[in-house]
Amino acid sequence: MQVSNRYRLIEPLGEGGMGVVWRAYDELLDRTVAIKEVRYAGVGEAKRAELNRRTIREARAAGRLDHPSVVVIHDVVEQDGRPWIVMQLVRSRSLAQVVREEGPLRPGQVAMVGGRVLDALRAAHATGVLHRDVKPENVLLADDGRVVLTDFGIASLEAEAGLTASGGLVGTPAYMPPERLNGEPARPESDLWSLGATLYAAVEGEPPFKRDSWAATVAAVLRDEPEPPARGGTLTPVIMGLLRRDPGRRMPAEEAARLLHEAAINAPGDPRQATAMQGMRPAPAGGPVHPTSEAQAYPTAGERPAAVRERSRRGRTLWVTLPAVAVAVAVGTGGTLLYTSRTTPTPTPTPTAAPSTSTSGPAPTPAQTLPAGWRTFTSPAGRFSIAIPEGWRATKHPTRDSISFKGPGSPGMMIVEWTTPEVSWKSPEQAWLALEKEILAKGEFQGYTRIGITLLRYRGRAAADWEFTRIRDKQLIHVINRGFHTADGRPFALYWDTTDARWAQDKHYFTKFARTFKSL
């Protein structure tokens, strides 16, 4: 079957009370997508037509959301008397499935997931869009490392249409806030209550008001106080704050974001941490790029440089982004890479002086010549220029403030990332130490060995080079990541990696990249 003479349905991916999600093929753009076929049952024709119109209107509104933790809506069409919502296909498991298959997650993992979901909700609320159906089934833990909230703009109509002729609600009320069950309209605080119940379920294995029957669950939400989660740890204050019955007393989103941030940073390591996100998949290649312009294509491959919890110019919170196994940077993240290995984390060592591998030096002046066979690349968005070898592609990440460079002559890759800081950065050394502590605690790098975190002066300012090796795809990878602020206060990371076997041979690339980098 085809939808809109364009989308060929392949197979159902899941079915619920309000419709079916299909894997489909977009024959116009030659890509695989997910399509939600929305079905309204138990309502009259006039009501169904009204719901269809509102579904399409709200789905289109949700489609304007630009956030890496929100499923992208590509198209909205009406066919056979019902809406079809065409979405990005996210290869993932839901949070509900992960908990069901692997048991409750560790508090640190849940804090990271919760932070991403809350970030998506705050972005949506800022544009006037409510979700109304936040629950573990709608939180996707993607194979590429993202946390993605789905059913924006669709769930709202489904919740309303879920009223049957007898006045009952379709589906579980375990994640619905008291005010919704009392018939009050949804508000941003309603999504926050549902988030609290979702975090509770992720860390405990079941929602806070689960009872033996539908009616008993409703009564519990309306009447009972939740028991603090036994496994919540540092998450307990934020969970309990979000589950306050009175929306006016519910923990504000800003405070919840801060507490989730702190819980994610300070979570103790545990070798038993189960991961919802497995190894990353390579991203699709983008098109050719003019050497003096910044590409707007997907990266060919690569790992994102670590940036310490900073806010992008578009206002999105960029939680710690970790270079990790064959990262698919094209798919968005905004995201913190949350998968963890099952190796025992090692304690965080104190800084040690590294061998003389860091290269600083003055920016090239007009009188200086570029390295032979190199050309100048300028990024207006990042306000920097850098020399790159002939034949290398520059690829702008679609959602992050970063550009990757890759080409012939080396298996290595260079990434330049810039952001606007959300929090103060006491020193580049402390930034790398904090990030190292987190990845060690969560076991995210296989075979990680720190070579050194080396302080240096770069462009006349304090900088630090974090050099380490780790195993990726059964190869030993050698990385150097330079963190610094420019004179006008903008933080940058210059990230270079290659195979350890090629490190000495390819080190000159990083030397030249660092020497020719110039902020504009």
Domains of the chain (ranges; CATH) run 2-88 (3.30.200.20), 92-266 (1.10.510.10), 310-341+367-519 (3.40.1000.10)
pLDDT of residue 172: 66
pLDDT of residue 368: 55
Residues with a known catalytic role: 133
Pick from 101, 107, 97: nearest CA to 137? 97
Classify the C-alpha dihedral 67-69-70-75 as positive or negative: positive
What pTM value is reported for the model?
A: 0.52
Helix then strand count (H, E) for the chain reads: 11, 22
Segment holding 36, helix H or strand E: strand 31-38
Q: For residue 510, give every residue at least 6 positions away whose Cβ sits within 8 Å of its Cβ, in sequence order, or none.
A: 359, 414, 480, 494, 496
Pick from 435, 108, 445, 437: nearest CA to 274? 108
- Give the CA count within 13 Å in the CB-facing half-sphere of 181: 22
Tell me phi and psi for residue 488, to 5 degrees. Answer: -90, 15
Pick from 335, 355, 346: nearest CA to 445? 346
pLDDT of residue 144: 72
pLDDT of residue 417: 92
Segment holding 55, helix H or strand E: helix 45-63
Show the low-confidence residues of the chain (pLDDT under 70): 16-18, 41-43, 153-172, 267-368, 419-426
Q: CB atoms < 10 A from the CB of 9, how many?
A: 16
Strand, helix or coil for residue 120: helix
- What DSSP string describes 70-110? BPPEEEEEEETTEEEEEEE---EEEHHHHHHHH-PPPHHHH
Pick from 119, 159, 56, 15: nearest CA to 333? 119
Measure Cα distances from 13 to 19, 24, 172, 319 in Å. 11, 10, 21, 30
Phi-psi map region of 440: left, alpha, beta (phi>0 left; psi -120 to 50 alpha) = alpha
Contact (Cβ atoms closer than 8 angstroms) between residue 416 and residue 517 = yes
Contact (Cβ atoms closer than 8 angstroms) between residue 122 and residue 257 = yes
pLDDT of residue 261: 84
